[in-house]
């Protein structure tokens, strides 16, 4: 918030070995009935390899006719049992639930192919289905591990100072306010504050910053970041389970449980699609022979081909792997997204609303000068303002207090302090009633004379915020302005470039919402290329402005720097918090949190969100299109079990590879 409202601010790695299982990812496939990819284990992998070897031997023997037909049939039967022993219990459960699933479809198709004498195709169906399942499980684990690898960057032990000596202890045993030592080149074990030493710290794992950040006494450091050339002693501020890194991992895991709209659609589609195709296959098997005199073997074969084509593996895997890959890619860049639904919403944004202070500007205002009226001295005006502002944690109030101390002005602490949200504050100093506030407040109090208006216009035209100091109207006293403090806040160096990138990313309108006066807001907006600036806004006015933007554009993002902007962020389609690494509340409340104050990351997030949505749409379209094509070929008698299972496995492999591109 930029108004002088004096309200508190919110302030072993990737092995990918076959059979390696990561628990907890089976929720990706709730729509793929019976698809339990999380159950992958070494025995299933070895069985799959053995099945493939037996299929290969059987095919060679069949082509060379080295064995009689009965011998090759025995080998193919062994291949089916070896590669499909774990399918039978799942298929039986599907029968008991009266809910046909992929496992049941494959078992029926394999049995049917065997009945009509297509033993090689039956064994190949079981083997290639196992390959497809393994690929899906591997993709799940790969995407999941991309996030979980973040946990590996935090040390398991910390060098803690106890009883005057340093000793290595597990990070879980370290308490808040204890001192830990971090040597050069070592990873920082816990969140904390630098006590002694200076060094540059690589914060890329948490914030995505490409350049190390210099740290000195009093600066905040995060678990999992890498100390540079210096040696640091750090006071621990958060225990192991509550570090910024740990909370990021926890929130990402929770986000994976929140399904995106596209994923919910696919799940519902698959839930009805599989049983429907099973019924169609049954009709294809029964109707032509019974009513048209068709050959039973021929139509049983076609029904089996249809059952294989019905397996929606590629369709079901297309969305969750893409979503998790996209969220993992953003987490690596220091952007935390709270779930697939928000990632999809980001991709659809048409307009973006920005708070001014702490978002477009640095959020570190400084008093540039003091103008006096009524023959008051600068020190007297500054003394009154600091006495009232000493009660507030607002950035403008802090700037006034710091400036007074810098100038050596002694000030008391005001009594009867009252904050006026979005306007300023009032208080009594040595028995006299005073106020400090913005331009709007002077009009509401009826103390804005022509001279005051002229001076304010000059300062606001320079893009400066103004703090008016004066006697508060009380009883017979009409009140008067004693002086004006000009406060300047530096525009972020990359703000203009970031706004340009937002437009390039497809954002139609960028609007700045500020509690500051309109002239100041217009000046800042002009500097950085913002399309529209709206000033003199109270917190509820920002909510109204966001609602208006939603009515006009449909999908709107709101960017703020903490809890003060929470109402507007909640009203927007997507709430985006700046600088989450310094504001715990921001991580908890926003839909998207930028772990640094880099405005440019918003455009990067939008681009990656749209890329993710594009990949999801392609994968779904490809999977459905392929199914439709092969359904038609089956009904016309031009598809075989070989072709069906190869198409299903190939489609699965393609959509998985396409989704995992997001991790690059």
Q: How confident is the model at residue 375 (pLDDT cuts 50, 70, 90)?
A: confident
* Tokens read off for 290: 């019974």
- The vertex-223 CA angle with 240 and 599, nearest 5°, equals 125
Q: Are 579 and 596 within 8 A, CB to CB?
A: yes
**CA neighbor of 123 nearest in space, from 106, 103, 139:** 106
Question: Quick one: which H or E segment has residue 126?
Answer: helix 119-152
**b/e per residue 413-434 (b: at least 16 CB within 10 A):** ebeebebbbbbbbbbbbeeebb
The label of the residue with tokens 């926890």 reads 250
The label of the residue with tokens 């998790």 reads 324
> Start-end ranges of CATH 3.40.50.1000 in the chain?
335-362+491-600
> Start-end ranges of CATH 2.70.150.10 in the chain?
157-242
- Which one-letter DSSP state was computed for residue 5? -
> Start-end ranges of CATH 3.40.1110.10 in the chain?
372-488
Cut 0.75: pTM above it: no
Q: CA–CA separation, 360 vs 533, rounded Å?
A: 12
Q: How confident is the model at residue 289 (pLDDT cuts 50, 70, 90)?
A: confident
Protein fold of 157-242:
2.70.150
pLDDT at 38: 43
pLDDT at 263: 58
- The vertex-32 CA angle with 26 and 37, nearest 5°, equals 35
pLDDT at 141: 65
**CA neighbor of 542 nearest in space, from 530, 528, 559, 526:** 559
Q: Is the pLDDT of residue 184 over 50?
A: yes
Catalytic residue among 101, 355, 522, 648: 355
pLDDT at 564: 61
Q: Is the pLDDT of residue 481 over 70?
A: yes
Instruction: Report the percentage of the chain scoring pLDDT > 90.
Output: 22
Q: Give the SS3 label for residue 170.
A: strand
Q: Are 644 and 307 within 8 A, CB to CB?
A: no
- Which one-letter DSSP state was computed for residue 356? I
Q: Give the SS3 label for residue 580.
A: helix
* Tokens read off for 77: 């039967």
Terminal-to-terminal C-alpha distance of the chain? 37
pLDDT at 260: 54
Q: CA–CA separation, 389 vs 650, rounded Å?
A: 67
Protein fold of 372-488:
Calcium-transporting ATPase, cytoplasmic domain N (3.40.1110)
Instruction: Tell me the average pLDDT across 204-209.
Output: 63
Handedness of CA 13, 16, 22, 27 (dihedral sign): positive
- The average confidence (pLDDT) of the chain is 79
**CA neighbor of 7 nearest in space, from 280, 395, 576:** 395
Q: CA–CA separation, 662 vs 664, rounded Å?
A: 5
Q: Are 538 and 515 within 8 A, CB to CB?
A: yes
Phi, psi of 447 (to 5 degrees): -120, 10
SS (H, E, C) 32-99: CCCCCHHHCCHHHHHHHHHHHHHHHHHHHHHHHCCCCHHHHHHHHHHHHHHHHCCHHHHHHHHHHHCC
Q: How confident is the model at residue 233 (pLDDT cuts 50, 70, 90)?
A: very high
Beta-ladder partners of 352: 510, 557
Q: CATH 3.30.450.40: does it fit domain 335-362+491-600?
A: no
Q: What is the pLDDT of residues 69-127, one digit of tens each?
A: 788 878 888 887 887 777 777 778 877 877 766 677 777 777 776 776 778 777 877 77
Handedness of CA 533, 569, 245, 339 (dihedral sign): negative
Long-range CB contact pairs, 518-523, < 8 A, 24+: 519/457, 519/460, 519/461, 520/460, 520/463, 520/464, 520/465, 520/466, 521/356, 523/460, 523/461, 523/462, 523/463
pLDDT at 89: 79
* Tokens read off for 33: 């009935």
Q: What is the pLDDT of residues 158-168, one digit of tens each?
A: 999 988 889 99
Q: Kind of pairing, strands 532-534 and 509-513? A: parallel
Instruction: Tell me the average pLDDT across 32-46.
Output: 55
Q: Give the SS3 label for residue 97.
A: helix
Q: Are 547 and 573 within 8 A, CB to CB?
A: no
Q: Return the half-sphere exposure (C-beta side, CA atoms, 13 A cut-off) of residue 526.
A: 9
Instruction: Report the percentage of the chain scoring pLDDT > 70.
Output: 81
26 counts as catalytic: no
Q: CA–CA separation, 99 vs 97, rounded Å?
A: 5
Q: Is the pLDDT of residue 210 over 70?
A: no
Beta-carbon neighbour count of residue 10 at 10 Å? Answer: 19
Order of strands across the sheet that contains 432-437: 366-372, 480-488, 465-471, 432-437, 424-429, 415-420
Q: Is the pLDDT of residue 36 over 50?
A: no
Rg over alpha carbons for the chain, rounded to the nearest Å, is 33
Q: How confident is the model at residue 389 (pLDDT cuts 50, 70, 90)?
A: very high
pLDDT at 1: 36
Q: Are 180 and 212 within 8 A, CB to CB?
A: no
């Amino acid at each position: 918030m930029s108004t002088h409202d004096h309200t508190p601010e919110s302030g072993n790695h990737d092995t990918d070995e076959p059979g390696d299982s990561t628990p907890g990812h089976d929720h990706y496939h709730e729509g793929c009935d019976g698809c339990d990819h999380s159950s992958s284990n070494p025995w299933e992998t070895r069985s799959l390899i053995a099945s493939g070897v037996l299929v290969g031997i059987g095919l060679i023997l069949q082509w060379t006719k080295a064995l009689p037909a009965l011998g090759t049939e025995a080998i193919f039967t062994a291949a089916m049992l070896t590669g499909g022993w774990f399918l039978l219990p799942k298929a039986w459960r599907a029968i008991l639930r009266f809910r046909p699933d992929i496992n049941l479809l494959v078992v029926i198709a394999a049995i049917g192919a065997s009945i009509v004498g297509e033993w090689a195709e039956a064994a190949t169906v079981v083997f290639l289905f196992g390959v497809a399942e393994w690929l899906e499980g591997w993709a799940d684990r790969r995407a999941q591990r991309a996030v979980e690898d973040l946990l590996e960057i935090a040390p398991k032990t910390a060098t803690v100072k106890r009883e005057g000596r340093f000793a290595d202890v597990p990070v879980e045993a370290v308490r808040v306010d204890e001192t830990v030592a971090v040597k050069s080149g070592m990873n920082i074990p816990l969140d904390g504050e630098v006590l002694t030493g200076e060094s540059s710290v690589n914060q890329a794992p948490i914030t995505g910053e490409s350049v190390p950040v210099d740290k000195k006494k009093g600066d905040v450091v995060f678990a999992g970041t890498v100390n540079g050339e210096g040696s640091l002693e750090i006071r621990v501020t958060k225990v192991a389970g509550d570090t910024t890194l740990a909370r990021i991992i926890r929130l990402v895991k929770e986000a994976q449980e929140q399904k995106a709209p596209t994923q919910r659609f696919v799940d519902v589609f698959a839930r009805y699609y599989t049983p429907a195709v099973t019924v169609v296959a049954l009709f294809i098997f029964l109707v032509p022979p019974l009513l048209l005199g068709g050959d039973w073997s021929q139509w049983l074969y076609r029904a089996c081909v249809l059952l294989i084509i019905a397996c929606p593996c590629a369709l079901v895997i297309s969305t969750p792997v893409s979503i998790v890959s996209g969220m993992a890619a953003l987490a690596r860049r220091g952007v935390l997204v709270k779930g697939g639904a928000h990632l999809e919403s980001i991709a659809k944004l048409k307009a973006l609303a920005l708070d001014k202070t702490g978002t477009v500007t640095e959020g570190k205002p400084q008093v540039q000068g003091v103008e006096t009226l009524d023959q008051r001295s600068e020190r007297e005006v500054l003394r009154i303002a600091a006495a009232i502002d000493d009660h507030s944690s607002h950035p403008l109030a802090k700037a006034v207090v710091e400036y007074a101390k810098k100038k050596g002005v002694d000030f008391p602490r005001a009594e009867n302090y009252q904050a006026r949200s979005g306007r300023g504050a009032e208080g009594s100093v040595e028995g006299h009633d005073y106020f400090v506030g913005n331009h709007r407040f002077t009009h509401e109090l009826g103390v804005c004379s022509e001279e005051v208006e002229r001076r304010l216009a000059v300062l606001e035209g320079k893009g400066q915020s103004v703090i008016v100091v004066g006697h508060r109207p009380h009883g017979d006293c009409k009140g008067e302005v004693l002086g004006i403090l000009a406060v300047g806040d530096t525009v972020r160096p990359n703000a203009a470039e970031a706004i340009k990138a937002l437009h390039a990313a497809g954002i139609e309108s960028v609007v700045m919402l500020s509690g500051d006066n309109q002239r100041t807001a217009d000046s800042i907006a002009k500097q950085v290329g913002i399309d529209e600036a709206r000033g003199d806004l109270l917190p509820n006015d920002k909510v109204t402005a966001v609602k208006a933007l939603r009515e006009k554009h449909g999908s709107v993002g709101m960017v703020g720097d903490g809890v003060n902007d929470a109402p507007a962020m909640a009203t927007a389609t997507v709430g985006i918090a700046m600088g989450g690494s310094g504001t715990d509340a921001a991580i908890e409340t926003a839909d998207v949190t930028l772990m640094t104050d880099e405005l440019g990351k918003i455009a990067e997030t939008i681009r990656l969100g749209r890329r993710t949505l594009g990949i999801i749409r392609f994968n779904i379209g490809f999977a459905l299109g392929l199914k439709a094509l092969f359904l038609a070929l089956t009904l016309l008698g031009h598809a075989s079990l070989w072709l069906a299972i190869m198409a299903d496995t190939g489609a699965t492999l393609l959509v998985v590879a396409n989704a995992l591109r997001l991790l690059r």
